[in-house]
Amino acid sequence: MNVGDTLAPLEIPVTRTLIVAGAIASRDYQDVHHDASLAREKGSPDIFMNILTTNGLVGRYITDRLGPGVVLRKVAIRLGAPNHPGDTMVLTGTVAAVDGNTVEIRVVGANGVGHHVTGTVIAEVAA
């Protein structure tokens, strides 16, 4: 890997099931992640994905692209536009730094509204 290399994109359909299952799996029982009526009462057009699900999807993106031997050392993300059911999030990555077997990858996850997630992942790849 070299600085500036890009990883193949990953399209993730944002389904109601993905949002609810991710919230349950991460024990995030906030109503905005599973109850559309209550989410609308709170100003959202629908339920939306929680940060823990997004974090897991970013990790999956990196391990899918770098292979089963990769070890995630640090994942630092920031949320932006919400992921609502019916949208598609496209994850992309660019190698920002390489130090031996350690790579830093800048990750962006965009949907129809804008950037849902931006951040960096530091990973150790097999020699």
Is the pTM value of this prediction over 0.85? yes
pLDDT in tens, 37-91: 999 999 999 999 999 999 999 999 999 999 989 999 999 999 999 999 999 999 9
**Residue in the block written with tokens 């692209």:** 65
Rounded Cα gap, residues 112 and 122, in angstroms: 27
| Strand bridging mode 71-79 / 6-13 | unpaired
Residue 61: how many other CB atoms lie within 10 Å: 23
The total number of residues written for the chain in this structure? 127
Rounded Cα gap, residues 7 and 76, in angstroms: 18
Q: Does the pLDDT of residue 127 top 80, yes or no? A: no
Query: What confidence score (pLDDT) does residue 115 get?
Result: 98
Give me the DSSP letters along 16-81. Answer: HHHHHHHHHHTT---GGGT-HHHHHHTT-SS----HHHHHHHHHHHHHHHH-TT-EEEEEEEEE-S
